[in-house]
A = this chain, B = another copy of it.
Amino acid sequence: MSDSAKKYTIAVIPGDGIGKEVTPWAQKALEKAAEGVAEFDYENFDLGAERYLRDGAILPEEEEERIKKTDAILLGAVGDPRIKAGILERGLLLKLRFDLDQYVNLRPSKLYKGVTSPLANPGDIDFVVVREGTEGLYCGAGGAVRRGTPNEVATEVSINTAYGVERVVRYAFQLAMKRRKHVTLVHKKNVLVNAGDMWQRIVDKVAEEYPEVSHDYLHIDATTIFMVSNPSRFDVILTDNLFGDIITDEAGAVVGGVGYSASGCINASDEYPSMFEPIHGSAPDIAGQNKANPTAAILSAAMLLRHLGFDEAAAKIDAAVEADIEELGSTTRSTDEVGRDILARM
């Protein structure tokens, strides 16, 4: 360790299922890439299904406060079939995204050389989805009356604010300036007229400040078509929380599987730590079998490094991953083999 290396604390939340298998590799990649430029202290958090089943805790306040004091978070995956859907997702993963005001959910999609896309003619795929992370249908508003009776009514409320939309729109345009300078707003404004109209107005307004960036609009349904028929048309896709969730999984599929897709839940105002995670879930069907691909988790470590300003260290990971996929992407390897292979190239 050089004396000039900066010190950071990283919260590590492996979570559930394959999250526990891939996160150690993300951590190792982080460590190796940052050698000599940054020094990381890790704080491990035992959060997720096992903990919940053991003592009922999901995200105790004291632990959340400690997480808030770290510089960044590495997360694996959350969700377990033994636990009712929503409990861990809402109580842990979404609670962190919301409480830490991680309003930019950044999800790059790239078709790597060596990966076989399920598409016949994928073309060059290289876009980023900027998904709003703290509003919309994810805010947990809604409820039910007469639950379990024939007269039950259940509601879900999407809350969208100009404040919340404008900051993520601005982020998307700034990002587009560093890329191919095109933003596609994705929504369903012909049906969700209140929220859609607000998104469109704010995009039109912010776009005036970025005359070099062109922008267009697609309905979410049409977007799912282009994602299959012409994914290379996209540069920056800007969308809300739910549509972003949906379109990034489809994007993962067209670039050959969510095993290659990393994401950052970013608090772009740096008030709280940002969180980096593969977009895949806990995959209970293959958990514990040393089968999961750790590449997405390792790429999320690169996003973490870039977020902290260590572009060169991040580039080391990216290059190792690219080389690994190009050479060995089509082979069947265990979690540990892929992890070791990538590390060996760094």
Enumerate chain A interface residues (CB-CB to B < 8 A).
79, 85-86, 89-90, 94, 116-121, 137-138, 142-144, 146-163, 166, 188-198, 201, 220-222, 224-225, 227-229, 242, 245-250, 252-254, 257-258, 281
Bound CA span A192–B151, Å? 19
CB-CB under 8 A from A257, the residues of chain B are 229
A88 CB to closest chain B CB, in angstroms?
8
A321 to chain B minimum Cβ distance, whole angstroms, is 21
* B151 pairs with A196, CB closer than 8 A: no
Q: How many copies of this chain sit in the oligomeric assembly?
A: 2
Contact B196 A225 (CB under 8 A): no
User: Is B228 in contact with A154, judged by CB distance below 8 angstroms?
Assistant: no
From the candidates B118, B143, B160, B201, name the one contacting A229 in the complex (CB within 8 A).
Answer: B118
Name, among A116, A144, A155, the residue most crowded by chain B CB atoms within 10 Å (CB to CB).
A155
User: Which residues of B are found within 8 Å of A90, using beta-carbon distances?
Assistant: 190-191, 193
B residues less than 8 Å from A254 (CB atoms): 228
| A227 cross-chain contacts in B, Cβ below 8 A | 250, 253
Q: Is the CB of A191 within 8 A of B86?
A: yes
Asked if A144 and B225 sit within 8 Å, CB to CB, the answer is: no
On whether the beta carbons of B137 and A151 are closer than 8 Å, the reply is no
User: Complex Cα distance A210/B85, Å?
Assistant: 24
CB distance A163 to B150 under 8 Å? yes
**In the bound complex, do residue A246 and residue B221 qualify as a contact, i.e. CB atoms below 8 Å apart?**
yes
Q: Which residues of B contact A193 (CB under 8 A)?
A: 85-86, 90
Partner of A152, one of B162, B191, B252: B162
Indicate whether A195 sits within 8 Å of B253 (C-beta atoms), given known contacts A79-B190, A89-B190, A258-B225. Answer: no
A224 to chain B, nearest CB (A): 4
Contacts of A222 in B (CB 8 A): 249, 281
Closest residue on chain B to residue A86 by CB atoms: B193
Contacts of A137 in B (CB 8 A): 156, 158, 191-192
Q: Give the distance to chain B from A328, nearest Cβ to Cβ, in Å.
A: 21
Inter-subunit contact B194/A143 (CB<8 Å)? yes
Q: Provide the bound-state CA to CA distance between A281 and B218, in Å.
A: 13
Q: What separation, in Å, do the CA atoms of A278 and B147 have in the docked complex?
A: 37
Minimum CB–CB distance for A160 against chain B, Å: 5
Nearest-neighbour CB distance to chain B for A329, whole angstroms, equals 16
Q: Which 9 A-B residue pairs are closest in the complex by CB-CB distance?
A: A224-B250, A221-B249, A152-B162, A86-B193, A228-B253, A154-B194, A156-B158, A225-B253, A85-B190
Q: A227 to chain B: closest CB distance in Å? A: 8
What's the Cα separation between A192 and B90 when bound, in Å?
A: 10
How far, in Å, is A49 (CB) from chain B's closest CB? Answer: 13
Assembly CA distance A198 to B150 (angstroms): 11
B162 near A155: Cβ-Cβ < 8 Å: no
Residue of B nearest to A147 (CB): B198
* Residues of B close to A161: CB separation below 8 A: 151-154
The distance in angstroms between the C-alpha atoms of A298 and B246, with both chains bound, is 31
Q: Other than A150-B163, A151-B162, A220-B246, give 18 A-B pairs with Cβ distance below 8 A.
A: A85-B190, A118-B121, A119-B119, A120-B120, A137-B191, A144-B194, A152-B161, A152-B162, A154-B197, A155-B159, A155-B160, A156-B160, A188-B245, A220-B245, A224-B249, A225-B249, A229-B253, A246-B246
